[in-house]
């Protein structure tokens, strides 16, 4: 059955847990790859998926170069029914689906989901939003370091050594989890270019183009 409440994932969170693109998560819904009981549509149009849905999303796209779409859909239909009948502990050891000459073991996909979901939950716990800290800016727990600034440094390709030198209160694991958090839970809206940095924030990497060069590029 579909998970409810806090166990439901947004498409960006599901993409991280399934290890696919957000586009493919939405395709899994739009193209009716997923059984209907594994996702829901809110009255506001927002999509939410059960964590179990990520098993099938991961399988469908990872097996695309080995199985036809019809074969993958049949495996998913059979496996989703078995998922409702079996305990997770039993499935995690061996989850083999047999259809004629075709045999598929989904246990590795389930184990991968468990690992990535656990890491996402750890990343969620690392980040706090407190009105008393930088006016509620999401920061890494126990610090005043904005999580999205750390993630931006990772995205910019800065080395771990450079990031840790700039954010001395963080560990390498904190940095990795910050990047994961930002990927799964992107910041809302776009920051204003004129907006000043929060107190305690550090820009590790920046890149600006001279006005004359920007005009030349635009022409």
| Same domain? 41 vs 140 | no
Residue 100 lies in a domain: yes
Rounded mean pLDDT of 39-58? 91
Q: Give the number of other Cβ atoms within 10 Å of residue 57's Cβ.
A: 27
Q: Tell me: the pLDDT tens digits for 25-37?
A: 999 999 999 999 9
Domain that holds residue 11: 5-119
Query: Where a domain ends, among 94, 119, 144?
Result: 119
Q: Which residues pair with 99 in a beta bridge?
A: 102
The H or E element spanning position 171 is none
| Same domain? 114 vs 148 | no
Query: Where a domain ends, among 86, 119, 152?
Result: 119
Q: Tell me: the pLDDT tens digits for 115-155?
A: 999 999 999 999 999 999 999 899 999 999 999 999 999 99
Q: Tell me: the pLDDT tens digits for 8-26?
A: 999 999 999 999 999 999 9
This prediction's pTM: 0.77
The percent of residues in the chain predicted with pLDDT above 70, rounded, is 79
Contact 102, 79 (CB under 8 A): no
Contact 22, 37 (CB under 8 A): no
| Same domain? 147 vs 115 | no
Confidence label for 99 from pLDDT (cuts 50, 70 and 90): confident
Query: Can you tell me the distance from the alpha carbon of 162 to that of 167, in angstroms, rounded to the nearest whole number?
Result: 9
């Amino acid at each position: 059955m579909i998970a409810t409440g806090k166990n439901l994932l947004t498409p960006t969170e599901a993409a991280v847990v399934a290890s696919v693109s957000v586009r493919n998560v939405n395709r899994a819904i739009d193209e009716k790859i997923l059984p209907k009981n594994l996702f829901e549509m809110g009255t506001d149009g927002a999509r939410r998926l059960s964590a179990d849905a990520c098993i099938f999303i991961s399988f469908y796209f990872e097996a695309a170069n080995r199985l036809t779409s019809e074969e993958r859909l049949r495996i998913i239909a059979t496996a989703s029914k078995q998922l409702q009948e079996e305990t997770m502990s039993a499935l995690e050891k061996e989850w083999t689906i047999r259809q004629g000459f075709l045999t598929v073991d989904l246990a590795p996909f389930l184990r991968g989901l468990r690992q990535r979901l656990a890491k996402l939950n750890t990343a969620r716990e690392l980040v706090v939003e407190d009105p008393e800290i930088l006016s509620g800016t999401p920061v890494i727990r126990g610090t005043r370091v904005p999580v999205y600034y750390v993630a931006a440094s990772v995205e910019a390709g800065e080395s771990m050594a450079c990031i840790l030198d700039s954010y001395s209160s963080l560990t390498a694991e904190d940095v990795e989890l910050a990047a994961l958090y930002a990927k799964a839970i992107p910041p809302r809206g776009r920051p204003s270019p004129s907006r000043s940095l929060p107190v305690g924030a550090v820009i590790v990497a920046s890149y600006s183009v001279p006005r004359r060069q920007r005009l030349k590029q635009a022409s």
